[in-house]
Structure 1
Amino acid sequence: MLMTPTGRLARLHYLPGTFRQLSAGDHVICAVSGVPIPLDALRYWSAELQEAYATPEIATRRLLGQAG
């Protein structure tokens, strides 16, 4: 049985509408806020910037260039 390592950072390749997991893990880090995002809760990312975002507000601010 394959298990996802608990507490381990996953590496992802973000695509439009989906992502591909490159290394095992159970979360990624929000590119703006730095908070961990469980993979099963990951809904917002940029394929162009290859970044994940914790909330729709953070994603919107980042994509409009208002967050660094």
Structure 2
Amino acid sequence: MADGCVLRAPAVVSDAGALTTMTRMVPEQARVDTGLVDARCAVGASLTWVALNLGIRATDEESA
């Protein structure tokens, strides 16, 4: 934290992605070498996406 406060937790939930979280957000001294970073780097970057399947029960006339 900006004020020097340190927050510790047994687990981290991050929406930044595994590679970004482990290489840029977790302090180096707190990182655990699980091989995940090396494996992720070998795969390369990927795009984030979301799919939504939506079903509507209506006729053309009802939905107009």
- TM-score of the superposition, structure 2-length normalised? 0.26
Tell me which structure has the larger Cα radius of gyration: 2
Q: Which structure: greater strand fraction?
A: 1
- TM-score of the superposition, structure 1-length normalised? 0.25
